[in-house]
Structure 1
Amino acid sequence: MVKILSGVKIEVAETINNLMLNIENTKSNYIILSKIKLIRLVFVFVYLGFAKSTPTFAQTRAIAFKRAASLNNGINISWLEQTWNPDALKRKTITITDLKLLKTLGFKSIRLPVAFRYYEEHNIPLSNVLKQVDYVWKLCRQTGLKLVIDYHYGKLNDANYTLETQKIIKTWSTLTVRYANAPADQLFFDLYNEPPPINPSVWKDAAYNIVTALRKMDKKRTFLVGASNYNSIYELSRMVRLADENVIYAFHFYEPFLFTHQGALWVGNQVSTTGVPFPYNVENFPALNLKAKGTWGETNYYQYKTDGNEQSVKDKLQIVKNWAGNYAVPIICSEYGVYNKYARQDSRCRYIKTVRNTLKQMQIPGMLWDYNGNFSLFEGKPAVNNLPQCMADAIAYKPKK
């Protein structure tokens, strides 16, 4: 046993932990329960032996937890991912005034989605894109806000993942060199936004290869990694964590989708039913839009009386909380919010307050989507005076007297 402990790697601990979880999932009698207890003891013994001989194992993960917590009360700034906006790179959408406003409202971090792959496909030099990223990073340093740079709108799929992974690594390698001196507790890399509904093992291989390649260049940077099917909470709950201690696992939360994306044209007829309240109220519940018939939106419509409430939000967030607990890894909700064109203001406020408070209770950091786009918290141009009172309450903003 001593000989084994001297050479133990994280993969050993993960194998034991995974075996433990698999047995738990299939336990049906006293013998299996006994095996579970035995395996837990072995796992603890191996972990303690490894941690004792290699202190950085526990230290690095503790750093990842601390950094994840520091990103709490974050918000996304929609701008450099706007592929539909031909002027996105030609103008500065935000200023120091915007970040000071966010600071005043209690936000501590910014997530900046960037459509790196789109700009590459359209022969726009990466240096041009990074000038805007540099600008945001400068503003963040001036205001004390942390920054998460997010690789948005990638082209990864089951067929091209080998080649596409190399392109992702190439882009991140450039950023890694460029920001090599940026404090690792201030600047973060979200490696790939919303991986599509591809084979989960394909995505895990891609994620592993990206993290491994970048870790050779930067030992200290903390990476955000989500699961397939668009940073799904369900896919994350089935994902096996990576063999890297300095990773925060990200998920997006827009449940129930029938409410948060009602009327969003880019989604399609599935969400064509508008006027959906939160929580569910039979007296104010709209009729199903005929365009949604025969789609998964119809299924969601009839399930909403079960899904459209605070307890359902808690139950779904508990799924990822349990997963994180099983692996003892940090997680973050890097997107949550409500499309503001059709949802009633009071319902939007109640939903955001519900998600925010639930995340707080579960000690999961959260980042709203978004600052000044079509999920904006404000009525009109971002300003304290344009923040509805119910929204101020939802984000726990209290003006100084």
Structure 2
Amino acid sequence: MKKILLKILFTAISFVAVNTNCAAYSGPKVEKKLPFSKGLNFSEWLEPVQGFIDGHFNSYGKQDFIDIKNMGAEVVRIPTHFDTFSSGKPDYVIPENLWNKLDKAIDWCEELKLYVIIDFHNDCSGNSKTPPDIEKILSKIWSQIANRYKDRSEYVIYEIMNEPHAIDCAKWGKIQGKMIKLIRTIDSKHSIIVGAADWNSVHELLKLPMYDDDNLIYNYHEYSPFLFTHQGASWSNDVKRITGVPFPYDKNKMPPLPSDATSGERWLYNNYPVESSEEKLVEPINKAVEFVNKRHAALMSNEFGVYSKYADPKERVNWYKIKGGWLDDRNICRVSWDYRGSFGVFNKDSIARFPQDLNVELIKAMGYRVPSSKGTTWFQDAQKNNSYIIYKNGISEKISFHSWIPEASNDCSLYKQDSADEDFYIYVSKAEKYRVLQFHFGDSCNFDSLVKSGACLEFEIRHKEPNLKMSVYFTNSESRGLPWRAGIFPTVKDISGDGQWHKVRIPLSKFADYGAWNNSEQKWYNAQGKFTWTDVVNITFDTAESKITKGLSVRNIVIK
């Protein structure tokens, strides 16, 4: 995702108000159409986010791929920080646990007939720079990717690099050409996505050299007008203090400019009437279409969207309707940034349920269909199969995982394995007090019958801590006021720190009501006897008063 303001290269033109009738500005059409027209980015999954296990803020499973397919998505883009997760210099060896995730994603996409873009993603924060040795990094990594997936189906697509920046545009054009040739020495079948420097600028796209390859997809990122799409975004100095920006432009709705406005803020604000005009917005798109037609190539915009935190919801929906209409009219594939993030399609960023929490008006404006039913939940499937697995060789489908352990950096994993013939397990290298591993069931679960039948929570644990006092608890939803908890304190104090696997089995009936944490008030409430087994939304493993210094491993979590 574009993290800072792109250079504005065109001179100002007279203001023309945006018309919601997309046909008013229909334009030239891309002659080489792709077999897909729209899709979504699965962001912050294979991108390192400081403090999250495996570096992932989001954890996607097969059900997520099924869900977007049911909405009408035809392609999914998977931003992947290959170099960050790799062994680093000199060989940049990609670890097996990253391959495992990509392999599964490709398996699911092929099964669902969903195209998948393997995107070499990178740091796009405002102060970042494309490394000066990027050619060496790309060469090492693309050799591995192409060798691994050269025999996969046509649903696999390669994207050489996301948003190269702080690099000479002509130099990048030559490096990209070398990567095309490198990939073709290994894989002559799969389509390759190419883009320009300056954060995949549409303007720089028009300057790319001619590449001797007839299976390329040219790509640019679509976040115009930037003042509207990124208003209030903390990562961009030129827009983070400006919110309440309307789209289409309306003089009477414009927020005041900060009294101490910077030159960047002032330029964006004063030029917004022009930069948000329909004529100004479609001009570069039309030029891009003409450009790719001369090269007999396809065109896509694989990042496309509006930051949801400050944009007016109706105006945000209108932006997608207008922009999507323009791209569809021109046969330009659009892949929205993103799915579950702050540019996403849900009414809330985290722990969003599909389809209950979908932004219905936004989904319709984007040209997707809203599923008529919410489908089954993890708990309903578990009841049907009489199998209440939470984690076994990975997180069970329809369960989402959340954690934040900043002191462990990226040295934690949801899929660690000692050898190829052993089970995967969750590994935490180190953690401060009150760090959690939290599994969300996706919807409220009625565990009452399980408790009455004598069901137990089982899991295996391994550690070398001298005095571990870890706890585990179940949490109610906030539908009745507070998220009351029932837990065991401590859970594992008698488990030997011998570094061997030990099975823990705790009857659910032993879990006791002990209180609730109100996050909005940042306040703890002592037990009031209000916890109920009829309304359970998650289970949490908590380091409580213990610090993890020598590693903690957990696996095979199940209720039975």
- Shorter-chain-normalised TM-score: which range? 0.7 to 0.9
> Which residue of structure 2 lines up, in the alignment, with residue 173 of structure 1?
143
CA distance in 1, matches of 2:93, 2:265: 38
Structure 2 CA distance for aligned equivalents of residues 225 and 337 of structure 1: 20
**Deviation digits for residues 228-254 of structure 1 (CA, Å, limit 9, x no counterpart):** 101000101222231221111111011
Q: Is the 8 A contact 2:78 2:117 kept in 1?
A: yes
Unaligned regions of 5+ residues in structure 1, if any? 1-61
Q: Deviations over 1:293-323 (max 9, x none)?
A: 2232321111111222444322232121222
Q: Secondary structure at the match of 1:315?
A: helix
For residues 70 and 157 of structure 1, what CA distance do their matches in structure 2 show? 34
Greater mean alpha carbon deviation, residues 170-179 or residues 119-128: 119-128
**Distance change in 2, residues 1:252/1:121 (3 Å):** farther
Q: Distance in 2 between matches of 1:330 and 1:398?
A: 26
Q: Which residue of 1 aligns with 2:502?
A: none
Deviations 1:347-395 (A, max 9, x none): 1111111111100111111110000011111102152332333213212
After superposition, give the CA deviation of every residue in 1:203-259 in whole Å (9 maximum; x if it has no partner).
011101111111111111111010010100010122223122111111101111111
Change (3 A) 1:307 1:90: closer
Provide the rounded CA distance (Å) in 2 between the counterparts of 1:270 and 1:366.
Answer: 25
Q: Which range is displaced more, 281-290 or 345-354?
A: 281-290
Q: Measured at CA, do residues 90 and 270 of structure 1 come closer, stay the same or move farther in structure 2, by a change above 3 Å?
A: closer
Contact 2:196–2:208 at 8 Å: present in 1 too?
Answer: yes
TM-score, L = length of structure 1:
0.77
Provide the C-alpha distance between the structure 2 equivalents of 1:271 and 1:190, rounded to a whole number of angstroms. Answer: 30
Question: Which residue, 42, 50, 75 being the options, matches 2:40?
Answer: 75
TM-score, scaled relative to structure 2 = 0.56
Please tell me the residue identity of whatever aligns with 2:148.
R
Q: Aligned letter for 2:41? A: N
357-366 or 260-269, larger mean C-alpha shift:
260-269
Query: What is the alpha-carbon distance in structure 2 between the residues aligned to residue 390 and residue 335 of structure 1?
Result: 20
- Report Cα offsets for 1:246-275 as digits up to 9, x if no partner: 111111011111111111111224442011
- Is the alpha carbon distance of 1:400 and 1:254 closer, same or farther for their aligned partners in structure 2, counting shifts above 3 Å? closer
Q: Distance in 2 between matches of 1:259 and 1:285?
A: 11
More strand by share: 2
CA contact under 8 A between 1:83 and 1:115: conserved in structure 2?
A: no
Match of 1:104 in 2: 70
Q: What is residue 446 of structure 2 aligned with on the other side?
A: none
Of 229, 236, 239 in structure 2, the residue corresponding to residue 267 of structure 1 is 236
Change (3 A) 1:144 1:131: same
Cα distance change on mapping 1:400 and 1:159 into 2, 3 Å: closer
| 1:82-93 correspondence to structure 2 within 5 Å | 82-88=48-54, 93=59
Partner of 1:20: none
Aligned to 2:270: 302
Check 1:382–1:355 CA distance in 2 against 1; reply closer, same or farther (3 A cut): farther
**Structure 1 residues 148 and 240: CA distance shift in structure 2, 3 A:** same
Separation in 1 of the partners of 2:363 and 2:49?
31
Q: 1:90 to 1:73 in 2, by over 3 A?
A: closer
Distance 1:261 1:216, change over 3 A: same
Cα deviation, 1:63-85, whole Å, max 9, x if unaligned, reads xx45xx12321111102124335
Residue 189 of structure 1 deviates from its aligned partner by: 0.6
Counterpart pick for 1:135 among 104, 113, 121:
104
TM-superposed deviation, 1:121: 6.5
CA distance in 1, matches of 2:48, 2:347: 21
Identity rate, percent: 27
Aligned to 2:362: 391
Counterpart in 2 of 1:94? 60
Distance 1:121 1:254, change over 3 A: farther
> Partners of 1:158 and 1:335 in 2: how far apart?
19
Residue 119 of structure 2 is matched in structure 1 by 150
User: Within 5 A, what are the aligned runs for 1:170-249?
Assistant: 170-183=140-153, 185-249=154-218
Taking the aligned partners of 1:393 and 1:159, their CA distance within structure 2 comes to 40
Amino acid at match of 1:237: L
Aligned-partner residue type, residue 213 of structure 2? D
Change (3 A) 1:400 1:198: closer
Letter in 2 for 1:215: R
The residue aligned with 1:253 is 222
Aligned equivalents of 2:39, 2:149: Cα separation in 1 = 21
**In structure 2, what is the equivalent of residue 38 of structure 1?**
none
Q: Secondary structure at the match of 1:238?
A: coil
Shift of 1:128: 2.4
| Alignment map for 1:231-380 (pairs within 5 Å) | 231-290=200-259, 293-380=261-348
Instruction: Report the equivalent of 1:10.
Output: none
Counterpart check, 1:120 vs 2:86: yes
Deviation at 1:92, TM superposition (A): 7.1
How far apart are the structure 2 equivalents of 1:82 and 1:289? Answer: 34
Q: Would you say how many aligned residue pairs link Structure 1 and Structure 2? A: 332
TM-superposed CA distance for 1:110, in Å, is: 0.4
Structure 1 window deviating more from structure 2 (391-400 vs 107-116): it is 391-400
After TM superposition, the structure 1 stretch with the greater mean CA deviation from structure 2, 228-237 or 139-148, is 139-148
Residues 37-80 of structure 1, C-alpha deviations (whole Å, 9 max, x = no match):
xxxxxxxxxxxxxxxxxxxxxxxxx9xx45xx123211111021
Q: SS at 2:274's partner residue? A: helix
Per the TM alignment, residue 125 of structure 1 is displaced from its structure 2 partner at its CA by: 4.8
Provide the residue aligned with 1:5 in structure 2.
none
Between the aligned partners of 1:158 and 1:387, the Cα distance in structure 2 is 35
How far residue 159 of structure 1 moved from its aligned partner, in angstroms, is: 7.9
Whether the aligned pair in 2 keeps the contact of 1:71 and 1:366 (CA below 8 Å) is no
Q: Which residue of 2 aligns with 1:58?
A: none
The structure richer in helix per residue is 1
**Structure 2 unaligned blocks of 5 or more:** 1-30, 373-560
Give the Cα separation in 1 of the matches to 2:245 and 2:183.
Answer: 44
The 1:358–1:94 alpha-carbon spacing in structure 2 relative to 1, beyond 3 Å, is same
What is the SS of the residue equivalent to 1:384? coil
1:193 alignment partner, SS class: coil
Following TM superposition, the consecutive aligned residue runs of length 4 or more in structure 1 with deviations greater than 6 angstroms are 121-124, 154-159
Distance 2:256 2:333 in 1: 36
